[in-house]
């Protein structure tokens, strides 16, 4: 189904099932341990052996020799595959470094061997017997040191040049020089680790030339294509299955070493092999969010109208890696006639930087929304009012282009009212509650809404059961549930007569899970398939589909009332389709908006920061399931607290690796760190987004939260920290 005109009224608008707060279908399986994660799928194939991955001990250079004789003879060992006896493999989608093969070392803990044994302990013990001779080289590990010489990304390509590179509108330098009120500050964000609960894990089995991977991955079609490319085998020989994912956060958008080494280990051992990356391997072997250094300049008139805004960000990566696109939101969030955004990318030999939890906007908003708070203070304006004064209904970089729907102002006003913003003392350091200095801060939330082709197959059996099959993943987000809700609404059946099967590359390819695009696109694909199934039902029953009403498990047409299952009496009905998008999202800008409000307490003696209250008001189109959407948003808000106060991979700048490479040293918020969180969704639809009229909401819950925390800390203490995370040492 091609979606190229704004959605009109359709069966989803009945909102009998869609739009209702619904428990997650997979919730009971996950909480009772009966949803098997990749490593636990003992039943999918017999005779599984264990693989243990060894990472390099240097960050840059070459592996000269590997001594593996002892390991090969160790008890239980079935095979040892080393990087020296494997030619360098191909590179999968978005992999900046090679996952395996050849002597070159590109980053610390890059995989150099997999040991396969009868048990995990035997594989691990044998791996420790491998001795490696390295020829180390000098690497570059210090972002700040490399920043002055970091080359611009994409050059200076003038106006409207796409999502990266330098963009100019008007005359920033002239307008900034003339502005009566200006700000010029630099903000830094840290390297961060996804820290998902489930590690990267895969069971691999070969049947002749055919490879099956039971794995944990966000993007099944990408994974299938990448594995074929990396191993140099035909795509049709690869099957990827990932029905449950214990968190991804961007770290499982692509294939990683677990999948590749399980496949190689299985080939060598001639047995199915399971590999999980151990926790201490993950931060350096896999990807992370790169640190940023962001300079923001804002010029405004005395009444608070922004006339000039510039945002430049530098991040580092391996030579084939991408920059952190931290300036994207600054192109769209506030009005202002003269604008400049630019990215620089420093060559670093640290592990590979890549997408993590709202890449781009999450760290970009952490800088921009402190800068806006600082600017409001310079202007003597309330920060909510300053933002509202500079709202825009058109894309400021392309003024002919409107937002499909934008109610940032609604989010800010309602948030201010509900949070009790009027009671805030704008002078920092004034409010006190016993031992605590109390502060209130806010920030806008912003994240784009992305569209992508998404397919599904739906089947109807004689019992009236509707089965949906798509390679869409549920990474803890609620995909099973919103897909079931969509099919139930479309076919007019109760939720419990819908069966949803996900994550298998044998099913139609979906948009997958990432970039908060999963919910809208995958359900729109199910909508498209259900339109076809309704057609097939009508045809079987000899009725006109335009007059048919699908409700209460029945199909009604004129005086005819038939149980839905009747249509499948002569044989199961199957329909398959995909949603495909025209250029609606090019004609109009599709974004999501929020107002984030935070109250903190800062201990007057120790400077310990405790978050006391949080509120997010979100505008993200139709909310398909308010319960799972709220869970997404409070998860995002929690990540925002982590980014503001705790999360940082510490770089060893001498040896080039992340030191705190486990969950003891890498701190993320736990329940005790998080107070009551409130989430309000504005009641809206966006008919430009898809037939579902929904948009992404998960990452919106994160973007802006860090700055709201930082602004609250400032309001509490009068200390403006521009270097995240705001740890106690920076407040004393
Ligand atoms: Mo998200 S970081 O695009 O999975």
Distance 194 CA to ligand 1 centre (A): 10
Distance from C-alpha of 534 to C-alpha of 567, rounded to nearest angstrom: 10
How does strand 560-563 pair with strand 338-347? unpaired
Q: Which of 146, 374, 469, 699 is catalytic?
A: 699
Please report the pLDDT score of residue 75 as a whole number: 98
CB atoms closer than 10 angstroms to residue 330: 30
Nearest to 482 by CA among 446, 511, 442: 511
Distance from C-alpha of 626 to C-alpha of 718, rounded to nearest angstrom: 37
Q: Where in the chain is the domain with CATH 3.30.365.10?
A: 2-35+451-584, 401-449+590-732
pTM for the predicted model, two decimal places: 0.97
Give the SS3 label for residue 463.
Answer: coil
How does strand 131-136 pair with strand 201-207? unpaired
Confidence of residue 158 (pLDDT cuts 50, 70, 90): very low
Contact of 325 with 344, CB cutoff 8 Å? no
Mutation probe of ligand 1 site: the residue of 222, 288, 362, 515 with most atoms within 8 A of C-beta: 515
74-to-69, 83, 433, 620 alpha-carbon distances in Å? 9, 20, 63, 57
Distance from C-alpha of 42 to C-alpha of 31, rounded to nearest angstrom: 19
How does strand 111-117 pair with strand 77-82? antiparallel
Contact of 633 with 472, CB cutoff 8 Å? no
Q: Reply yes or no on whether the pLDDT at 174 is more than 90.
A: yes
393-to-160, 389, 397, 695 alpha-carbon distances in Å? 17, 12, 12, 18
| Atom from ligand 1 closest to the CA of residue 475 | 4
CB atoms closer than 10 angstroms to residue 398: 14
Distance from C-alpha of 347 to C-alpha of 136, rounded to nearest angstrom: 18
Scan for tokens 């701190």, then name that residue.
667
686-to-102, 244, 478, 689, 696 alpha-carbon distances in Å? 50, 30, 21, 6, 11
Distance 248 CA to ligand 1 centre (A): 8
H helices present in 461-517, as ranges: 479-491
724-to-87, 109, 429 alpha-carbon distances in Å? 41, 26, 20
Confidence of residue 162 (pLDDT cuts 50, 70, 90): very low
Distance from C-alpha of 218 to C-alpha of 612, rounded to nearest angstrom: 33
Mean residue pLDDT of the chain comes to 96
Please report the pLDDT score of residue 164 as a whole number: 52
Distance 354 CA to ligand 1 centre (A): 9
Please report the pLDDT score of residue 155 as a whole number: 61
Q: Whose CA is nearest to atom 4 of ligand 1?
A: 250
Q: Mean pLDDT over residues 464-481, rounded?
A: 98
Distance 406 CA to ligand 1 centre (A): 23
Task: Output 675 or 164, whichever has higher pLDDT.
Answer: 675
Distance 135 CA to ligand 1 centre (A): 36
| Atom from ligand 1 closest to the CA of residue 253 | 4
| Atom from ligand 1 closest to the CA of residue 358 | 2
Distance from C-alpha of 696 to C-alpha of 686, rounded to nearest angstrom: 11
Scan for tokens 């960050």, then name that residue.
59
Please write the tens of the pLDDT for every residue from 549-592: 999 999 999 999 999 999 999 999 999 999 999 999 999 999 99
Distance 219 CA to ligand 1 centre (A): 10
Please write the tens of the pLDDT for every residue from 481-529: 999 999 999 999 999 999 999 999 999 999 999 999 999 999 999 999 9
Contact of 466 with 460, CB cutoff 8 Å? yes
Confidence of residue 156 (pLDDT cuts 50, 70, 90): low
Mutation probe of ligand 1 site: the residue of 192, 217, 253 with most atoms within 8 A of C-beta: 253
Phi, psi (deg, nearest 5) at residue 94 = 60, 10
Contact of 34 with 549, CB cutoff 8 Å? no
Rg (CA), the chain: 27
- 117 burial class (0-12, 13-18, 19+ CB within 10 angstroms)? buried
Q: What's the start-to-end Cα distance of the chain, in Å?
A: 59
Architecture of domain 2-35+451-584: 2-Layer Sandwich (3.30)
Distance 465 CA to ligand 1 centre (A): 33
Mutation probe of ligand 1 site: the residue of 245, 247, 359, 361 with most atoms within 8 A of C-beta: 359
Mutation probe of ligand 1 site: the residue of 246, 357, 449, 522 with most atoms within 8 A of C-beta: 357
Nearest to 432 by CA among 602, 241, 249: 602
Distance from C-alpha of 316 to C-alpha of 345, rounded to nearest angstrom: 5
| Atom from ligand 1 closest to the CA of residue 252 | 4
- 34 burial class (0-12, 13-18, 19+ CB within 10 angstroms)? exposed
Phi, psi (deg, nearest 5) at residue 483 = -70, -40
Contact of 425 with 593, CB cutoff 8 Å? no
Q: Reply yes or no on whether the pLDDT at 163 is more than 60.
A: no
| Atom from ligand 1 closest to the CA of residue 355 | 2
| Residue 699 falls in the annotated catalytic set | yes
Mutation probe of ligand 1 site: the residue of 193, 250, 475, 479 with most atoms within 8 A of C-beta: 250
Scan for tokens 């890549």, then name that residue.
354
Q: Which residues contact 460 (CB under 8 A, 6 or more apart)?
A: 466, 467, 491, 533, 536, 537, 564, 565, 567, 568, 572, 573, 574
Distance 546 CA to ligand 1 centre (A): 39
Residues enclosing ligand 1, CB less than 6 A?
218, 248-250, 253, 355-357, 359, 514-515
Please write the tens of the pLDDT for every residue from 107-119: 999 999 999 999 9
Q: Mean pLDDT over residues 637-651, rounded?
A: 98
Q: Mean pLDDT over residues 201-226, rounded?
A: 98
Q: Reply yes or no on whether the pLDDT at 159 is more than 50.
A: no
Phi, psi (deg, nearest 5) at residue 552 = 55, 35
| 306: its two tokens | 């922004």
Q: Mean pLDDT over residues 318-339, rounded?
A: 97
| 245: its two tokens | 């994912």
Give the SS3 label for residue 374.
Answer: helix
| Atom from ligand 1 closest to the CA of residue 249 | 4
Cα-Cα-Cα-Cα torsion 625, 626, 627, 630, nearest 10 degrees, comes to 120
Q: Mean pLDDT over residues 123-140, rounded?
A: 98
| Atom from ligand 1 closest to the CA of residue 357 | 2
Distance from C-alpha of 28 to C-alpha of 25, rounded to nearest angstrom: 7
Distance from C-alpha of 550 to C-alpha of 556, rounded to nearest angstrom: 7
CATH for the stretch 401-449+590-732: 3.30.365.10
Distance 326 CA to ligand 1 centre (A): 14
| Atom from ligand 1 closest to the CA of residue 699 | 1
| 187: its two tokens | 């903000």
Please report the pLDDT score of residue 154 as a whole number: 81
Please write the tens of the pLDDT for every residue from 56-90: 999 999 999 999 999 999 999 999 999 999 999 99
Distance 356 CA to ligand 1 centre (A): 5
Scan for tokens 């109208």, then name that residue.
305
Distance 386 CA to ligand 1 centre (A): 31
Please write the tens of the pLDDT for every residue from 685-701: 999 999 999 999 999 99
Cα angle 721, 436, 607 (rounded to 5 degrees) comes to: 40
- Strand order from edge to edge, sheet including 111-117: 77-82, 111-117, 49-55, 273-276, 201-207, 210-215, 238-241
| Atom from ligand 1 closest to the CA of residue 359 | 2
Distance from C-alpha of 389 to C-alpha of 411, rounded to nearest angstrom: 14
């Amino acid at each position: 189904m091609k979606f190229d005109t704004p959605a009109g009224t359709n069966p989803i608008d009945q909102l009998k099932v869609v739009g209702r707060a619904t428990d997650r279908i997979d919730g009971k399986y996950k909480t009772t341990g009966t949803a098997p994660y990749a490593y636990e799928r003992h039943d999918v194939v017999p005779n599984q052996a264990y693989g243990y991955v060894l990472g390099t001990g240097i960050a840059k250079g070459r592996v000269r020799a590997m001594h593996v004789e002892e390991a090969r003879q160790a008890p239980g060992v079935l095979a040892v595959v080393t990087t020296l006896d494997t030619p360098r493999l191909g590179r999968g989608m978005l992999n900046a470094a090679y996952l395996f093969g050849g002597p070159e070392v590109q980053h610390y803990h890059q995989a150099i061997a997999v040991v396969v044994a009868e048990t995990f302990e035997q594989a691990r013990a044998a791996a420790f017997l491998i001795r490696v001779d390295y020829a180390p080289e000098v690497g570059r590990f210090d972002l700040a040191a490399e920043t002055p010489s970091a080359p611009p990304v994409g050059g200076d390509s003038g106006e409207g040049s796409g999502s990266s590179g330098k963009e100019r509108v008007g005359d920033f330098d002239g307008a900034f020089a003339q502005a009566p009120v200006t700000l010029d500050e630099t903000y830094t964000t840290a390297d961060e680790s996804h820290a998902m609960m489930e590690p990267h894990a895969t069971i691999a089995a070969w049947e002749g030339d055919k490879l099956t991977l039971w794995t944990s991955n966000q993007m099944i079609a990408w994974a299938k294509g990448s594995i074929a490319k990396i191993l140099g085998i035909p795509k049709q020989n690869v099957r990827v299955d990932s029905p449950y994912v214990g968190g991804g956060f961007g770290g499982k958008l692509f294939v990683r070493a677990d999948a590749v080494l399980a496949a190689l280990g299985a080939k060598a051992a001639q047995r199915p092999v399971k590999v999980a990356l151990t926790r201490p391997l993950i931060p350096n072997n896999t990807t992370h969010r790169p640190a940023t250094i962001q300079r923001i300049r804002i010029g405004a008139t005395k009444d608070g109208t922004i006339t000039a805004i510039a945002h430049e960000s530098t991040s580092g990566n391996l030579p084939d890696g991408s920059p952190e696109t931290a300036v994207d939101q600054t192109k769209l969030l506030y009005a202002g006639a003269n604008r400049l955004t630019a990215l620089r990318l420093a060559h670093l030999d640290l592990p590979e930087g890549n997408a993590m939890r709202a890449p781009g906007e999450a760290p970009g908003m952490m800088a921009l929304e402190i800068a806006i708070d600082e600017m409001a203070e310079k202007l003597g304006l309330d920060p909510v009012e300053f933002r509202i004064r500079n709202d825009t209904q058109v894309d400021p970089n392309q003024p002919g282009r409107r937002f499909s729907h934008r109610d940032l102002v609604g989010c800010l006003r309602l948030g201010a009212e509900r949070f009790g913003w009027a009671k805030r003392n704008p002078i920092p350091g004034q409010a006190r509650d016993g031992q605590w200095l109390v502060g209130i801060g806010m920030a806008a939330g912003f994240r784009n809404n992305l569209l992508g082709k998404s397919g599904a197959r739906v089947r109807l059996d004689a019992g009236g059961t509707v089965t949906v099959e798509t390679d869409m993943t549920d990474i803890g987000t609620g995909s099973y549930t919103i897909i079931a809700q969509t099919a139930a609404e479309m076919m007019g059946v109760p939720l419990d007569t819908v069966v949803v099967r996900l994550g298998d590359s044998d099913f139609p390819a979906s948009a997958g899970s990432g970039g908060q695009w999963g919910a809208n696109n995958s359900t729109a694909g199910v909508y498209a398939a259900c339109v076809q199934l309704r057609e097939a039902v009508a045809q079987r029953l000899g009725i006109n589909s335009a007059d048919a009403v699908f409700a209460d498990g029945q199909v009604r047409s004129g005086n005819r009332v038939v149980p839905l299952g009747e249509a499948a009496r002569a044989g199961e009905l199957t329909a398959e389709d995909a949603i495909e998008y025209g250029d609606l999202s090019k004609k109009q800008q599709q974004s999501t908006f929020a107002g984030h409000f935070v109250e903190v307490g800062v201990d007057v003696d120790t400077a310990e920061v405790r978050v006391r209250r949080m509120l997010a008001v979100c505008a993200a189109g139709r909310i398909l399931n308010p319960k799972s959407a709220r869970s997404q948003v409070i998860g995002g808000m929690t990540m925002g607290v982590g980014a503001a106060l705790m999360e940082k991979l510490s770089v060893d700048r001498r040896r080039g690796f992340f030191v705190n490479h486990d969950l003891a040293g890498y701190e993320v918020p736990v329940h005790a760190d998080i107070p009551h969180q409130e989430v309000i969704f504005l009641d809206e639809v966006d008919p430009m987004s898809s037939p579902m009229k929904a948009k992404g909401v998960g990452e919106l819950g994160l973007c802006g939260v860090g700055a709201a925390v930082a602004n609250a800390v400032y309001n509490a203490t009068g200390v403006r920290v521009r270097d995240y995370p705001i740890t106690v040492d920076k407040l004393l």
